[in-house]
Amino acid sequence: MEEVFSILVRIFVPIFAVGSMLTVGFRYSVQEIVKPLRDIPGVITAVVANFVLVPLLAVAILWLIRIETPLAIGLMVVSVAAGAPMLIRLTQMAREPVSFAASIMVLLLVVTMIYMPIVIPRLASGDPISAMAIARPLLLTMLLPLCLAFVVRALSPRTAETLLPWAGKITNVALYIMVAATVLGNLDAVLGVFGKGAILSALLLIAGAFAIGYLVGTFDKREKIVLGFGTAQRNFGAATVVAVQSFTDPNVLVMTVVCSTVAMLLLPFARLLGKRKARAAPTGEVDSASAKETQTAH
C-alpha cells in the first residue's frame, strides 16, 4: 500500500506544480509578476530570510536538539531549498495577494537553482550532485509551464481566461491527492523517527521559518504574511532530488519526508487566517482580487 501512495505522490506532485504555474501564468502578465521585484529592499529581505536566516535557524535547532547525523543533514538540505508552488495555494487560502506570492516564488525558485549546487557539496557524502540535477525538475514542472502560460495569455487572453478555471480545478484535485498520499504513505517513516527529535526539529524549522519571513519583512502586513508562508514552505521537490541523488544514507531522505509531512500543517493554518480575514472584513468591503483568486481556487 505504501508503494501505491508513493506512486501517487510521484504522479501528482508534478501535476500540482504544473497546474499551479499555469494558473499563475493564465491570471497574471509578466509585468504584474515582475513589478513587485522592483522593490530592491524587499527582494533582498526575501533572499536573506530564505537562504541565510532559515539555514542559520536550522543550525541553531541542531545545536539545541541532538539528532542523528543523516537526519541533521536532511534538515539542512530542506533549509536551503525555497520557492515551492504550494505557496500559491497557501496564499489563496489565506486570502492574500497571489500576484505578490507568485513574484516571491519565482525569485526564490531561481535563487534555489543557483544556491543549492553551491551549498550541498559541503554536506554531501555521496556522489556530488550537479546543478542540472536540481534545476531540471524545477525547470520542467515550474518555470516552463509558467512561461508557456505567459505566452498563451499574451497571444490570446480569451484562451487564457477559458483555461484558467480548468487549471485551478486540476490543481485542487492534485493537491488533495498529494496531501493524502504524502501523509498516509509516509506514516511509517514519520513514526520510525518518533522520539529521535526529528519531528520536533521539523516543527521548529517550519514554525521558525514562518516567523522569520513575517518579522523581517519590509512589506505591509498582508505581504508579510505571504513572505511568512514563502519562507516556511520549503521546496521539498528540490530537497528530495538532492536527498536521493547526493546522499547514500536513506535517513537523509526520511528527514525531508518528515519535514514535508509536518509542513502540511501550514494548510489549515492558512485556511484559519483566511476565515479570520473574512470575518474581520466590513460587510460589502471585499478585496476584489482576493475574492477572484479564492473563487478560481474552488
Rounding to the nearest 10 degrees, give the CA dihedral for residues 253, 256, 258, 261.
-130
Number of domains in the chain: 1
Helix (H, G, I), strand (E, B) or coil at 79: helix
pLDDT along the chain (298 residues), means of 10: 77 83 86 83 89 95 91 92 87 87 88 84 63 74 87 92 91 82 73 80 95 79 85 86 75 85 90 86 49 44
pLDDT value for 211: 95
- The 10 Å Cβ neighbour count of residue 119 is 17
Q: Quick one: how far is CA 219 from the chain centroid?
A: 20
Look-up: residue for cell 539542512?
76
> Residue 260 and residue 205: Cα distance in Å, rounded?
11
Residue 285 confidence (pLDDT)? 44
- Does residue 85 fall inside a structural domain? yes
Residue 298 within a domain: no
Closest by CA position to 172, among listed 20, 290, 26: 20
Range of the domain at 32: 2-293
DSSP label of 51: I
d(C-alpha 258, C-alpha 188), whole Å = 10
Q: Which three cell numbers stand for residue 178?
A: 498529494
- Domain assignment of residue 148, yes or no: yes
Using CA atoms, how far apart are residues 86 and 243, in angstroms rounded to an integer? 20
Report angle CA 56, 224, 117 to the nearest 5 degrees: 40
- CA quadruple 146, 150, 156, 160: dihedral sign: positive
Buried b / exposed e across 215-248, counting CB within 10 Å, b at 16+? Answer: ebbebeebbbbbbbbbbbbbbbbbbbbbbebbbe
**Sign for the pseudo-dihedral over CA of 254, 259, 260, 261:** positive
Cell of residue 96, nine digits = 492574500
Residue 81 lies in a domain: yes
The CATH number covering residue 40 comes to 1.20.1530.20
| Any domain includes 254 | yes
**C-alpha cell of 2?**
505504501
- Could you identify the residue written with the cell 493524502? 180
| Ranges of H-type helices in 38-81 | 40-48, 54-64, 69-79
Determine the pLDDT at residue 177.
Answer: 86
- Asked, for residue 161, whether it belongs to a domain, the answer is yes
Q: Is residue 203 part of a domain?
A: yes
Is residue 147 in a domain?
A: yes
Q: What is the model's pLDDT at position 130?
A: 65
Cα distance between residue 87 and residue 102, in whole Å: 8
Cβ-Cβ contacts under 8 Å for 202 (sequence gap 6 or more): 75, 255, 258, 259, 261, 262, 263
